[in-house]
Amino acid sequence: MVGGNKSSITDFILVGLFPEFQHSIVLNFMIIFVYILAFLGNILLIVLIWGDSRLHTPMYILLSQLSLIDLTLTSTIVPKMASNYFTGKRTISWIGCGTQSFFFLMLGMSECLILTLMAYDRYVAVCNPLHYPIIMSPRFCMHMVLGCWIGGSISSFIHTVYPMHFPICGSREIHHFFCEVPVLIKLSCEDTSVYQLVVVVTSIVLLVVPFSLITVSYTLIFLTVFRMNSVKGRKKTLATCSSHLTVVSLFFGPNIFIYMTFTSSHSAEQDQALSVFSNILTPMLNPLIYSLRNKEVVAALRKFMGKCVTF
């Protein structure tokens, strides 16, 4: 019996977010509030980008994809967490756990690739401006975006199906607030060290390599910026690039720690804290980071608000 309801022997039990925390109701309400802000902020950014023809450029198309990923990612984990907490039913079915894990991984992997493409877009725009319209054509941009989604889906499918078939001999309690591969591995009663090495290798490909490419791109960008004669152009470029670098740091830092270290080396509390920061707080901050320091987005917002007032 869990929360007064019968559960199947194949169901998992989500312990929830910091179950030992005394003021858990306050914490959950705060998470829901942050989720609502993240959802509305990213929806607004998508509407602004697709509703203003001046923002129909590769940089903003990629930004709209980032917002789409962020609002979908938070919607994959927060509503279930809130539902479990307020109903007292903490179970999640085997299929539900696999589905949640698949979408979480797919969106996370796609975000790694999207952030890398955003860095490449800025590199071409700053270091190769004359060839930018040719290299970053709308057709090429859409192909890149499609490739990110397909690549994330394939990799996620593999890393969801395989660990879901590990035998579980003891407790089916997941010491987390959603189903995630590193936490599921801890429940298995067989040796998973080989698969953990596979996870580390995959993380190198999808986290370290993109992060390295982003670092190289921005190193070249900064070298080019510092040679600019125009102070105004230099400030504008640095503002755009610093926004992206902030988002990159907030995303890659926690995920590299979670996925590139063995699960036994960090506690459940550390996993939960980093997941809240990376997967709930960061999606809320992203629209603010990109809009407050971006004159084009601010102008589009003023235009949108003007239309709303007129209507």
Task: Report the candidate in 249, 219, 225, 220 with the shortest Cα–Cα distance to residue 237.
Answer: 225
pTM above 0.85, yes or no: yes
Helix (H) or strand (E) holding 92: strand 91-92
Task: Report the candidate in 146, 163, 176, 202 with the shortest Cα–Cα distance to residue 266.
Answer: 176
Q: pLDDT class for 293, splitting at 50, 70, 90?
A: low
pLDDT single digits (tens) 103-134: 999 999 999 999 999 999 989 988 888 899 89
Token output for 290: 């990109």
**Helices then strands (H, E): number in the chain?**
12, 3
Task: Report the candidate in 101, 81, 116, 97 with the shortest Cα–Cα distance to residue 247.
Answer: 116
pLDDT single digits (tens) 201-221: 888 888 889 999 998 998 888
Q: What mean pLDDT do residues 22-38 have? A: 89
Q: pLDDT class for 266, splitting at 50, 70, 90?
A: low
pLDDT, position 40: 93
In contact, 248 and 211? CB cutoff 8 Å = yes
15-24, 28-37, 145-154, 235-244, range with the lowest pLDDT: 235-244
Percent share of the chain, pLDDT over 90: 24
Judge whether residue 303 has pLDDT over 70: yes
Scanning the structure block, which residue is given the tokens 């190769």?
128
Q: What mean pLDDT do residues 36-44 have? A: 93
pLDDT, position 5: 46
| Rounded (10°) angle between helices 231-259 and 268-276 | 150
Token output for 25: 């109701």
> How does DSSP classify residue 11?
-
Q: What mean pLDDT do residues 148-163 have? A: 90
Which of 117-126, 168-177, 191-200 is predicted most confidently? 117-126
Coil/strand/helix, residue 276: helix
Which residues in 125-244 belong to E strands, given as ranges? 173-174
